């Protein structure tokens, strides 16, 4: 039997797992995942995935006391060493995994609507030195999706710390099976995700990462999005930038040009490498309404490897993502086109960071392919 547990009792900071050394208890914590497919549907097969970076406690079965707390490694492994003042338990104990991490590198928690942390307790056992005790968080428990949401936040935070060399802001993600709360970023370092039977985003990795992209846009970059509905058609440039960047974030973190969203009827998928969205007015104003997919496709082509005549830039997703903290967050933007951050301001920042060596390749992507009339005259210099 797997115990479902959600609570705030484990909000104390978790210690990292210790080094090898008897007597000790080890094992692996994993959760069942459904993979996203390119048509947007979820695979029917449940596949165990390592629950990396989660908080794991050893609980005394008799009175519920927390004996010690560690953090799983990136393989989902844990080790608890019984060295003074921690002694080997003589009574039955059980493991309790919580979807949270309180380290500076991964300040993440996944909670229910009542703000209680998601967690799962395993079956009781009696300690025996050298014996592995594993815990699988199943889909049937109703908790596996919470740990998948947590893992997507781990991927994003690791990109910020390791690739952008920044300390991420703590994030709270709200998901609960059956919830109709909606999927959105609320602007207070909190991401909301649907758990409804008709549309459950708990396994939709790219949907989760898209909303986390809004969070990082807010905390390490800049957003002037007015919010509101969007369906891919030409819209306010600030909104198109924010939505397009957040979809690109999901793709860059997974390093695949795919975005998908499942629902009870199946789902839908989008490939930024094969789709081609054009600006509606090739000879129009630089501040014209554009589709969010245009933004995503331009960013992907700037960040991915060169691919034929239509994309000759051997890109780097880090270089693209770094425009947010390096330029957009602090720069005085040019007074052209639409006020506030949009694709024009990103391209300005890209040339500030990258120089003018790739003018021809960027012109091919932006102007020739996507018919967007960027003027190539930003603060980084005027392209020939």
Q: What is the mean pLDDT of the chain?
A: 92
The share of the chain scoring above pLDDT 70, in percent, equals: 93
Instruction: Quote the pLDDT of residue 231.
Output: 83
Q: Is the pLDDT of residue 7 over 50?
A: no
Instruction: Quote the pLDDT of residue 312.
Output: 65
Topology of the domain covering 3-142: Immunoglobulin-like (2.60.40)
Taking residues 45-68, what's their average pLDDT? 97
Q: Is the pLDDT of residue 130 over 60?
A: yes
User: What tens digit of pLDDT does each residue of 101-123 get?
Assistant: 999 999 999 999 999 999 999 99
The share of the chain scoring above pLDDT 90, in percent, equals: 86
Taking residues 167-180, what's their average pLDDT? 97
Q: Is the pLDDT of residue 295 over 90?
A: yes
- Contacts of the segment 222-231: beta carbons below 8 A, 24+ positions apart: 222/324, 222/328, 222/329, 222/341, 223/341, 224/339, 224/340, 224/341, 224/342, 230/292
Give the model's confidence band at 229: pLDDT under 50 very low, under 70 low, under 90 confident, else very high. Answer: confident
Taking residues 231-251, what's their average pLDDT? 95
User: What tens digit of pLDDT does each residue of 305-356 get?
Assistant: 877 555 667 778 999 999 999 999 999 999 998 999 999 999 999 999 999 9
Is the separation of the CB atoms in 154 and 106 below 8 Å? Answer: yes
Taking residues 2-17, what's their average pLDDT? 41
**Whole-model pTM?**
0.93
Taking residues 200-227, what's their average pLDDT? 96
User: What tens digit of pLDDT does each residue of 263-277 get?
Assistant: 999 999 999 999 999
What secondary structure letter does DSSP report for 43? P
- Contacts of the segment 177-185: beta carbons below 8 A, 24+ positions apart: 177/142, 177/145, 177/202, 179/113, 181/113, 183/207, 183/211, 184/211, 185/211, 185/214, 185/215, 185/218
Comparing 358 with 232, the larger pLDDT belongs to 358
Measured from the Cβ of residue 368, the count of other Cβ atoms closer than 10 Å reads: 12
Instruction: Quote the pLDDT of residue 12.
Output: 37
Q: Is the pLDDT of residue 19 over 90?
A: no
Q: Is the pLDDT of residue 376 over 70?
A: yes
Instruction: Quote the pLDDT of residue 194.
Output: 98
């Amino acid at each position: 039997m797997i115990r479902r547990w959600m609570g705030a009792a484990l909000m104390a900071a978790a210690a990292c797992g210790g080094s090898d050394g008897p007597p000790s208890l080890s094992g692996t914590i994993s959760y069942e995942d459904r993979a996203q497919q390119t048509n947007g549907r979820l695979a029917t097969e449940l596949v165990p995935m390592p629950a990396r970076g989660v908080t794991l406690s050893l609980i005394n079965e008799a009175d519920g006391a927390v004996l010690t707390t560690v953090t799983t490694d990136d393989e989902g492994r844990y080790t608890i060493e019984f060295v003074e003042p921690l002694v080997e338990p003589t009574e039955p104990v059980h493991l309790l995994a919580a979807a949270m991490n309180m380290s500076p590198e991964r300040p993440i928690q996944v909670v229910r609507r009542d703000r209680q942390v998601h967690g799962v307790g395993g079956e009781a056992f009696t300690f025996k030195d050298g014996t592995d005790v594993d815990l699988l968080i199943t889909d049937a428990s109703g908790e596996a999706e919470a740990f998948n949401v947590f893992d997507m936040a781990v991927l994003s935070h690791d990109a910020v710390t390791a690739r952008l060399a920044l300390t991420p802001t703590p994030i709270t993600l709200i998901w609960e099976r059956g919830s109709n709360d909606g999927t959105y970023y609320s602007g207070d370092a909190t991401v909301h995700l649907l758990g409804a039977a008709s549309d459950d985003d708990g396994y939709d990795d790219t949907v989760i990462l898209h909303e986390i992209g809004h969070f990082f846009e807010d905390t390490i970059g800049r957003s002037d999005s007015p919010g509101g509905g969007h369906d891919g058609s030409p819209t306010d440039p600030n909104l198109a930038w924010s939505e397009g960047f957040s979809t690109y974030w999901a793709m860059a973190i997974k390093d695949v040009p795919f975005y998908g969203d499942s629902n009870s009827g199946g789902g839908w998928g989008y490939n930024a490498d094969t789709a081609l969205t054009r600006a509606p007015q090739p000879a129009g104003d630089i501040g014209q309404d554009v589709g969010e997919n245009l933004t995503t496709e331009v960013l992907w082509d700037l960040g991915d490897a060169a691919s034929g005549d239509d994309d000759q830039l051997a890109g780097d997703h880090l270089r693209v993502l770094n425009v947010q903290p390096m330029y957009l967050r602090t720069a005085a933007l040019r007074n052209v086109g639409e006020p506030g951050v949009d694709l024009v301001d990103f391209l300005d920042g890209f040339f500030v960071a990258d120089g003018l060596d790739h003018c021809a390749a960027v012109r091919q992507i932006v102007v020739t392919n996507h018919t967007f009339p960027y003027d190539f005259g930003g603060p980084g210099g005027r392209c020939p």
